[in-house]
Amino acid sequence: MTLTRLRLRDFRCFEQLDWYPGERWTLISGENASGKTSLLEAIFFLGRGRSFRTARNEKLIRTGAQAFELVGDIHSDRNHRLGVRRAARESRWRLDGRDLRRMADIANVFPVLSIDTGAQVMIEGGPENRRRFLDWGLFHVEQGFMQVWRRYRQALAQRNGAIRGRLNERAIATWDQAVADAGEQLDACRQRQVRRLAGVFESMAASALGVDGVVLSYQSGWKEGLPLAEALQRNRASDIRMGHTLSGPHRAELQIRVKGAPARERVSRGQQKMLAACLLLSGARVFEEERQRGVVVLVDDLPSELDRVHAARFAELLATVQGQCFITGIESERLVSLAPEGSTLFHVEQGGLVPVQA
């Protein structure tokens, strides 16, 4: 999977740009607020339909413009052209000359993973961040996952609607089996993904942190050993009192523990960043093993937040990922020192990119 060309128009600080990145590692240097992160953000948007920096898409439009446009030439099984025009309230996506309606179609063409300065939320943030990471991986490695996920979300929404509508217990119970059937299928998918991730992640974490006892585990979101239908029945009165369903995969937790305790209680903030990076990289490795192709990995300024020892260890782990990598940083010399030979270096200045001899 390779992004061979990227064209921007009116995206963030870039009025217009036509860019040919490197085939393997592309390094992007520049001062703070120069636009280097915006380039990664454009690539991420092209693959995910959203930003990793803001939930407000109108902020991505260059000041004074009405819309932004992104067009990427992508080489995977064959050559593709993926493009989007995004105005404040609407967007239009096209792939190889035809309109696209579903983000699932877009994400499948151009899988992208971001390791940015906010990655630490994977360790110290709420469980929804880790569930989202699990589901991203499952979307790409299990063909029927999206149908299962949608069925569960729809059944859960119906049950919660019945609870909020203050319907009687009998009416609420009519949704229990639909929630339970889809929920247990979703849980089984996630259990399989955790098994795929665990060995890779735990090995990476031991290498990166130099500590033993890092364990990845999963809690389903209801009492262990109890069928979900029975958990829903037992907790129905509590659900009515609280106003929503308290049992199910929407309450699941992907846990990272170090020597038996939650990681955030055992390791430093710098080590937490390394753990988060290892978790995300393990997702890239599982993707490669299951799909036999690479994922595009975006690394935004993370080396500057790590000391030289941990930055070097991170670079070694990143080099084990087969896909195309984009890495930003302030100091070009430090980027080059971390990257393998043959990497391509660019410098961002005045809304443009200048190639630099690495």
Residues annotated within the binding site for ATP are: 30-37
- All residues at 6 or more sequence positions from 280 whose CB lies less than 8 Å from its CB, including other chains: 113, 114, 115, 119, 122, 133
139 neighbors 195 (Cβ within 8 angstroms): no
d(CA 17, CA 8): 5
Query: In the structure encoding, which two tokens stand for residue 160, read together?
Result: 């919660």
Give the list of residues 6+ apart from residue 132 with CB closer than 8 angstroms, or none: none
| Residue numbers belonging to the annotated binding site | 30-37
Please report, as a single letter, which amino acid is at residue 149.
W
Sequence letter at residue 322: Q
What is the residue-wise DSSP string for 91-113?
EEEEETTEEE--HHHHHHHS-EE
Task: State the Cα–Cα distance between residues 281 and 286, nearest whole angstrom.
Answer: 9
The Cα 319–Cα 16 span in angstroms is 32
Tokens of 83: 């493009």
The Cα–Cα gap between 336 and 103 comes to 35
Q: Where are the beta strands (DSSP E) in 242-343?
A: 253-258, 261-262, 296-300, 325-329
Gyration radius from the chain CA atoms: 22
Contact status, residue 103 vs residue 65, Cβ threshold 8 Å? no
Structure tokens at 274: 């390394």
Collect all residues with Cβ–Cβ distance below 8 Å to 262 and sequence separation of at least 6. Answer: 255, 256
Residues in the chain: 358
Q: Rounded to whole angstroms, what are the CA distances from 184 to 136, 175, 198?
A: 18, 14, 21
